[in-house]
Amino acid sequence: VVATRFSPCGDEFAAIEQSGDLALWRFGAGGGGDASPLPFVRLQCHGRAGADVTFVDSSVVLATTGLSSPSSAKGAAGGSLALWDALLPPESALIASCAAPAEGGCALLYSAADQSLICGGQRGEVLVYDVRQRRQRLLWTAHTLATRALAMHEKSRRLVSASSDGDIKVWYLGGGG
């Protein structure tokens, strides 16, 4: 497992594995906080590597980043960034994908303020993907090495990116207030 996240309601959590597999667990109804022993959803999201996962405004829509080969198996994303609906059957769970970052994604976060996914890439790029329009909004080279971590302050629209070499940068994404 390379990344885990809680759902917005806190009743589920997701884990993405280095192999590109995504698993979702639901906490037991007994109130003890125990998770079910087996995931209730399993998806092959990225054919070559998984890197990060985040929930998108609900407990059933998730985004993943990693690396997929162009000839990935049916159901696996054709891009480094993918949007999934966990309620759909595995063969139709992929609802959108983006080929950027070209060499694969490393870090991922969701901005509820403008309904966008922000993804850090292996070559130091940062991608902003519009979830509503299902298209890439911005892409720029932020670092010389992989963008490994992202954090966002929604109100001020400030994005912090950090790279493998320890370089940290603050970006203003504009708009939103």
For residue range 80-122, list pLDDT tens digits in order: 999 999 999 999 999 999 988 889 999 999 999 999 999 999 9
DSSP single-letter state for residue 91: G
Distance CA 131, CA 117 (A): 7
Q: Report the amino acid identity of residue 122.
A: Q
Sign of CA dihedral 176, 83, 106, 42: positive
pLDDT in tens, 40-77: 999 999 988 999 999 999 999 999 999 986 654 444 55
Terminal-to-terminal C-alpha distance of the chain? 37
Structure confidence by residue, pLDDT tens digits, 1-34: 999 999 999 899 999 999 999 999 998 654 555 6
pLDDT: is 38 or 135 the higher one? 135
Distances 84 to 25, 43, 108, 159, 176 between C-alpha atoms, Å: 15, 9, 14, 24, 26
pLDDT of residue 100: 85
Tokens of 67: 């690396």
